[in-house]
Structure 1
């Protein structure tokens, strides 16, 4: 009977903890007014955001804690139509004197299949605002593909499960392309976004 009571308490605690965890919302406040940073200490074959896009027709501005974006961006990364594009995201926290990898991360093995998938975070904050998505959704990130954006803002609110999160963090996104033989292309993309997480009510 005692064991059964302990089990029931454990189940109730787990349900309560999960509910509280899902209730925790955080706003990500970018540090850089242009939002994107270069990844540090990378070899020459690792390109930044401007190796991925021609952003000469794209504008980024900031007002308070919100980033505003508008205009057109054309993919220029030297890969081939039909390549499989793999994208990874990893969250790091600054702890005293160094960046420490957290448990929050994900890898998407075929980004082309999910670039315009509505449940994804990047759709909510980015590709949702591509006005010509019907024309480009099958062209993925291949060079020459031009995305025409409606003006949009990045007021980034996230739900985190588990322990509370706060302070200085950065997301590192890496993008790699693989040919039909699953051989990685010689160049890849690395982008950092640094900022602070604050509780959002």
Structure 2
């Protein structure tokens, strides 16, 4: 989230509640190296292409199973700079052909306020890698034309014992919603999924 960056990594970061102090024993392996899929059960929601141009943002799986990331992200969401942005994140597990919600769910009602905070759990896995953050720190996903320059790094999603997720197919569901100054919801909500498998490390 340079505040912006969070739009795409918020879910990954939450999955990574990670390596802080607990022993790691599982890994989340995304199905797609480009990470993001359209939401299959959210008709009427816009996809990731409506919030950002990722044509210059490289995501490629490496021989170690992680994903190498670098490049530019350009914001293009058609909302207003004064809008408040809310982010809802949930993890679902595939059980007998049906996606069922897990206990892992959260909402940040004003996520642009904290994305640059170095004390947040996601900073080392996202904002830290934006090399032009001084230039864009006052901007967020609601400001089209904002460009984030991301240095090369490897994203490897490790799950620790503290996270109540078990091996198997999961998907992370993330929804971005903008609210105007009167707190009225904008109609062009964004929804994206990251599908993959939690495997034993």
**Gaps spanning 5+ residues in structure 2: where?**
1-21
Provide the C-alpha distance between the structure 2 equivalents of 1:117 and 1:143, rounded to a whole number of angstroms. Answer: 22
Aligned to 1:51: 50
CA shift, 1:144, in A, is 1.3
Task: Find out whether 1:161 has 2:159 as its counterpart.
Answer: no
TM-score when scaled to structure 1?
0.81
Contact 2:86 2:177 survives alignment (8 Å):
yes
CA shift, 1:176, in A, is 0.4
Contact 1:47 1:187 survives alignment (8 Å):
yes
Change (3 A) 1:100 1:111: same
Provide the C-alpha distance between the structure 2 equivalents of 1:121 and 1:158, rounded to a whole number of angstroms. Answer: 14
- Note the 1:55-134 alignment, pairs <5 A: 55-64=54-63, 65-134=65-134
CA shift, 1:118, in A, is 2.8
Provide the C-alpha distance between the structure 1 equivalents of 2:173 and 2:34, rounded to a whole number of angstroms. Answer: 16
TM-score when scaled to structure 2?
0.81
Report SS of the residue matched to 1:56: coil
Task: Find out whether 1:31 has 2:31 as its counterpart.
Answer: yes
Provide the C-alpha distance between the structure 2 equivalents of 1:82 and 1:59, rounded to a whole number of angstroms. Answer: 30
Contact 1:115 1:140 survives alignment (8 Å):
no
Provide the C-alpha distance between the structure 1 equivalents of 2:110 and 2:101, rounded to a whole number of angstroms. Answer: 24
Q: Which has the higher contact order (CA 8 A, sep 6+)?
A: 2
Contact 2:93 2:170 survives alignment (8 Å):
yes
Provide the C-alpha distance between the structure 1 equivalents of 2:92 and 2:84, rounded to a whole number of angstroms. Answer: 26
| Deviation by residue 1:26-60 (Cα, 9 ceiling, x = unmatched) | 2111111211111114334x221211111122222
Task: Find out whether 1:187 has 2:184 as its counterpart.
Answer: no
Provide the C-alpha distance between the structure 2 equivalents of 1:122 and 1:143, rounded to a whole number of angstroms. Answer: 23
Q: How many pairs were matched up? A: 179
**Gaps spanning 5+ residues in structure 1: where?**
1-21
Contact 2:172 2:193 survives alignment (8 Å):
yes
Q: Higher mean Cα deviation, 160-169 or 32-41?
A: 160-169
| Deviation by residue 1:50-82 (Cα, 9 ceiling, x = unmatched) | 111111222221124211111111100001112
Change (3 A) 1:90 1:162: closer
Change (3 A) 1:94 1:62: same
Provide the C-alpha distance between the structure 2 equivalents of 1:85 and 1:67, rounded to a whole number of angstroms. Answer: 28
